[in-house]
Structure 1
Amino acid sequence: MKILLLGSGGREHALALKLKASPMPVELVSAPGSDALGELGACVPLDLEDARGVAAWCAANRPGLVIAGPELPLVAGVADAVRALGIPVFGHDAETARLEGSKAVAKAFMERHGIPCAASWTVTDQTEGEALIRAWPHGYPIVLKADGLAAGKGVVLAETEREALATFRVFMAGQFGDASRTVVFEEPLVGMELSLHVLVDVDADHAAFATLPACQDHKRIFEGDRGPNTGGMGAFGPIPFLRDEDVQRLRAVLVEPTVKGLQRDGLRARGVLFLGVMWTAAGPKLLEYNVRFGDPETQVLMQLLDEDLAALLLEVAEGRLVSRDLKLKPHTAITVVLAAEDYPEGAKKGVPISIAPSAVTVIHAGTRKQDGQWLTHGGRVLNLATSAPDLAAARAAIETALPQVQWPGMQVRHDIGLKALKHAEAGKTVQDPW
């Protein structure tokens, strides 16, 4: 089967490795791809926000399946354009993708369908927003979110009224263009954050879903969750102290109302929903929807999934998914991000990387190859990923492998999963203070 994979990063490399492990022969084409993806198949220089251009390539080359990695092509309507050709797409229609493309649309969806979430206000007027900040009823921090896509930089937790006013004014002045001229204000939620991925296949006549194990990401650049936020410095899953009843509660409170809400609103959803969740003292609440696989959570999930990924995603794309439990390895998986010097403020590129053989999977996120030498070419450069019988063993395997991959200035956290491991070893549950 010929598969067109849209994207170029670590998420796409993890998906590509799993696709190439399919029992069926897979001819992989990546767009725009990377040097690492080029070692698994051809790369074509498509603009992922040009729906007509991607559709024209698909019309000429007739892939059997198109898989959208990032959110931008979905928001741009690529899935709609390609699906109109009769080609199966694992990726949501543009209208459904607005659940990530617009924070205001997502909040209205949650409230309309009774999904627990933070209290919020959507503001488009500067005077109204400043008055709201001065009369803020929920304590600090105030969460300010640019409504549209802002490359992961459109959320600020303002600790003071002064910071909130300054942030709001910069947003309204167009810091992220039109994406920040509508601002969603939210009350702060306190608890344990987790990532929940759900394969969804919904249209007017059919509603099915399959849930993947909950993961936990680590956003801060430094150990102990210190320093600025990043795209994610590592993740693991499943969460060792999340009990079966907790998983069922996530499904009943967040997943099932979301799937029913999609159908009630007349939305077609054929892809994955990545739910950002905060487990508070009152139970799980939804922070946000993402309409694509997370990064670095994908690197964890591909280690755990014990199914033919190509066949599974085609099942979703063709509207044939049946709600069921997915086959998973009885393991814990972990991924650790190796980041460039100066990340996240910048990224020192062109630094030679030493990669020796190791027992873990090396996933390329921001690299290029020149004269046979791998070089840094992005902020998050590589991921090391593996699975083991438990979280302690998975962490140990990564630590053993880390010396095999090195370059000057490399940044890495050695505490991915450590807080959760200690929480579990102390006999605590998701209900206990995090």
Structure 2
Amino acid sequence: MKIMVIGGGGREHAIVKKLKENPAVDTIYCLPGNGGIAADAVCVPEIGAKDIPAQVEFAKTHGVEYAVVAPDDPLALGAVDALSAAGVPCFGPSAKAAEIESSKVFAKELMKKYGIPTARYAVFSDMAEALAYLDGHDAPIVVKADGLALGKGVTVAQTREEAKAAVRAMMEDRVFGASGSRVVIEECLTGPEVSVLCFTDGETVAPMVSSMDHKRAGDGDRGPNTGGMGAVAPNPYYTPEIARTCMETIFLPTVRAMRAEGRTFRGCLYFGLMLTPDGPKVIEYNCRFGDPETQAVLPLLKSDLLTVMQAVTNGTLAQTPVEFSNGASCCVVLASDGYPKTYQTGFPISVSDEAAPHVFFAGARQADGQLVTAGGRVLGVTAVSGSLSGAVREAYRLAGQIGFANKYCRGDIGRKALAALEDDQ
């Protein structure tokens, strides 16, 4: 069977590796892929993740039998719609359904209309009105760009002036382009954060193992927001009781709301949750697998990924087992020092034979037969163990067997989760 995976980061590498476990899979094409993914798939670097006409043509000429569209941009641009119209079955939501991520305003209004718990908010398309609104509200307060911003379009402002600076950056300086033409300003919720990825065919919801992302660049959750510096799974704050509450008040209501709006969601629906003193609330939706949560969650999946994805596409998820191991995982991201701001690339990457099976490449390319760094987040290394403490220790041990000139990683991935486990004892 020939499969095509759209995207070229660590998330896509994790998906490719898991799909390869199915013996029916002969060839996996990754468009564009990267230099590290090339060890596990046929990469097509000349076709970008947003080049939908070229993807459709490639699928037709190469006999692709199934496609996985992983990143947010091509989903929002209608890659699944175009490939499906060309007769290629796909995993991923339509463009209309992907708007649950591509427009924060749409998502907030959906939750308000259907009574899904979330933070109080206001929407602005006029900068002066947004700034005036902030004059009447205390910090901390959250400012979000309406559209897609590579996971960086959210500012949790600790002062009113910081919030105003975020509004100006988005609406006046257009640091996120058209994505900042509208902003959402919302109350700052408090409590532990949890990420839950869910398979859904628009009717059935099959949650994956919960996870905890680490967004800030520095230890102790300090420094600028990044695309994610690591993740652990499961998240100890996400108890079975909370999971039941989320299914009843958030997961199923969201899927039903999308169906009622004529935007049936089929694919991976990501719930970013805050476990507030008033119960779980949604802080964000994503219309796809998270990064780096995927690198922590998929290694725990016992069921065959391709079988589950096809059940999502075919509407048969209710009849398809989705099982995860009882272990724990830890993904540590190795980045270029200076990320997410200014950093250098082009440095040779060395990976030990022991570490190689545990590595998911993100920012890497081939240069003169050598794998070199090509981005801010270079790779993630994931370890699975019977305990979270064991997974964390092993991930950092393996990370020590990987080298490049300006390698940087947080030293505290999993520390907050381990502290929570100790508090429970």
Per the shorter chain, which TM-score range?
A: over 0.9
Q: How far apart in 1 are the matches of 2:362 and 2:418? A: 27
Q: How far apart in 1 are the matches of 2:307 and 2:236? A: 29
SS of 2:111's partner is helix
Contact (CA 8 Å) 2:196, 2:211: kept in 1 or not?
yes
Which of these residues, 268, 271, 296, is aligned with residue 272 of structure 1? Answer: 268
Q: How far apart in 2 are the matches of 1:370 and 1:127? A: 49
Give the CA deviation at 1:240: 3.0
Q: How far apart in 1 are the matches of 2:134 and 2:25? A: 57
Give the CA deviation at 1:313: 0.9
Q: How far apart in 2 are the matches of 1:57 and 1:22? A: 23
Contact (CA 8 Å) 1:29, 1:42: kept in 2 or not?
yes
Give the CA deviation at 1:38: 2.1
Runs of 4 or more consecutive aligned structure 1 residues displaced over 6 Å after TM superposition:
none
Paired amino acid for 1:11:
R
- The structure-2 alpha-carbon separation of the partners of 1:411 and 1:246, relative to structure 1 and needing over 3 Å to count, comes to same
Q: Deviations 1:211-240 (Å, cap 9, x if unpaired)? A: 101100111122221222211111011123
Contact (CA 8 Å) 2:56, 2:83: kept in 1 or not?
yes
User: Aligned ranges for residues 169-188 of structure 1 at < 5 Å?
Assistant: 169-173=168-172, 174-188=174-188
Give the CA deviation at 1:323: 6.6
Q: Deviations 1:297-342 (Å, cap 9, x if unpaired)? A: 0111111001111121122122222176621112001110111122
Aligned to 2:64: 63
Q: Which structure 2 residue ranges, 5 or more long, are not aligned?
A: none
Contact (CA 8 Å) 2:105, 2:146: kept in 1 or not?
yes
Which of these residues, 397, 402, 416, is aligned with residue 399 of structure 2? Answer: 402
Aligned to 2:22: 22
* 2:342 maps to 1:346: yes
- The structure-2 alpha-carbon separation of the partners of 1:127 and 1:408, relative to structure 1 and needing over 3 Å to count, comes to closer
Aligned to 1:34: 34
SS of 1:75's partner is helix
SS of 1:18's partner is helix
Q: How far apart in 1 are the matches of 2:328 and 2:278? A: 27
Q: How far apart in 1 are the matches of 2:416 and 2:160? A: 32
* 2:254 maps to 1:258: yes
Aligned to 2:191: 191
Contact (CA 8 Å) 2:269, 2:285: kept in 1 or not?
yes
SS of 1:236's partner is strand
Give the CA deviation at 1:268: 2.4
Contact (CA 8 Å) 2:52, 2:74: kept in 1 or not?
yes
* 2:368 maps to 1:367: no
Contact (CA 8 Å) 1:62, 1:87: kept in 2 or not?
no
The total of aligned residue pairs comes to 422
Paired amino acid for 1:166:
A
Q: How far apart in 2 are the matches of 1:225 and 1:163? A: 18
Q: How far apart in 2 are the matches of 1:351 and 1:31? A: 24
Which of these residues, 241, 245, 263, is aligned with residue 245 of structure 1? Answer: 241
Q: Deviations 1:182-231 (Å, cap 9, x if unpaired)? A: 111101011111111011112xxxx1121101100111122221222211
Report percent identity of matched pairs.
38
Q: How far apart in 1 are the matches of 2:350 and 2:56? A: 39
Q: How far apart in 1 are the matches of 2:383 and 2:5? A: 23
SS of 2:408's partner is coil
Give the CA deviation at 1:178: 2.0
Aligned to 2:106: 105
Q: How far apart in 1 are the matches of 2:276 and 2:237? A: 15
Q: How far apart in 2 are the matches of 1:259 and 1:140? A: 33
- The structure-2 alpha-carbon separation of the partners of 1:308 and 1:325, relative to structure 1 and needing over 3 Å to count, comes to closer
Worse-matched range after superposition: 193-202 or 262-271: 262-271
Contact (CA 8 Å) 1:209, 1:323: kept in 2 or not?
no
Q: Deviations 1:78-128 (Å, cap 9, x if unpaired)? A: 111111122211011001111111110010111111110000111112332
* 2:235 maps to 1:212: no
Aligned to 1:166: 165
Aligned to 2:83: 82
Q: How far apart in 2 are the matches of 1:392 and 1:323? A: 35
Contact (CA 8 Å) 1:209, 1:324: kept in 2 or not?
no
SS of 1:55's partner is helix
**What RMSD in Å do the two structures reach over aligned CA positions?**
1.7
Contact (CA 8 Å) 2:152, 2:225: kept in 1 or not?
no
- The structure-2 alpha-carbon separation of the partners of 1:290 and 1:134, relative to structure 1 and needing over 3 Å to count, comes to same
Q: How far apart in 1 are the matches of 2:88 and 2:73? A: 19
User: Aligned ranges for residues 93-172 of structure 1 at < 5 Å?
Assistant: 93-136=94-137, 139-172=138-171
TM-score (norm. length: structure 2):
0.95
Aligned to 1:431: none
Give the CA deviation at 1:241: 4.5
Contact (CA 8 Å) 2:7, 2:69: kept in 1 or not?
yes
Q: How far apart in 1 are the matches of 2:215 and 2:360? A: 19
Q: How far apart in 1 are the matches of 2:310 and 2:336? A: 35
Q: How far apart in 2 are the matches of 1:30 and 1:211? A: 26
- The structure-2 alpha-carbon separation of the partners of 1:323 and 1:154, relative to structure 1 and needing over 3 Å to count, comes to farther
TM-score (norm. length: structure 1):
0.93
Give the CA deviation at 1:48: 2.7
Q: Deviations 1:231-258 (Å, cap 9, x if unpaired)? A: 1111011123532112111211210111
Q: How far apart in 2 are the matches of 1:149 and 1:401? A: 33
Which of these residues, 320, 328, 332, is aligned with residue 336 of structure 1? Answer: 332
